[in-house]
Amino acid sequence: MAFSYNNLWKQLIDRNMTKTDLRISIGITPATLARLSKNHTVSMDVLGKICHELECNIGDIVEYVDDPMSDNRNK
């Protein structure tokens, strides 16, 4: 199972906002921003802060993508 935050980056571009702007405005650490940039999992609290800041729903920033590698790891 994998998630992509590509839609988040598109939202930031549409709003002329940088990743650093987002990080500062919602109060997350650079490490958390790095996790987002690498499509790693982050807490629902972080996703909620992003949605609140961007006035959007979670589906506007996160997308589920099928990860065949994770299927192989579970066998």
Is position 46 within any domain? yes
**Model pLDDT for residues 23-39, shown as the tens digit of each residue:** 999 999 999 999 999 99
pLDDT, mean over the chain: 93
Is position 17 within any domain? yes
User: CATH code at 54?
Assistant: 1.10.260.40
Domain total for the chain? 1
Is position 55 within any domain? yes
Quote the pTM value.
0.85
Is position 15 within any domain? yes
Report pLDDT for 67.
Answer: 75
Give the whole-angstrom CA distance, residue 70 versus residue 75.
9
pLDDT band at 74 (very low <50, low <70, confident <90, very high): low
Give the whole-angstrom CA distance, residue 75 versus residue 40.
21
Domain range for 45: 2-65
Question: Which whole number is the average pLDDT over 48-70?
Answer: 92
Is position 75 within any domain? no
Question: Which whole number is the average pLDDT over 7-33?
Answer: 98
Q: What is the dihedral of CA 42, 46, 47, 48, to 10 degrees?
A: 150
Is position 74 within any domain? no
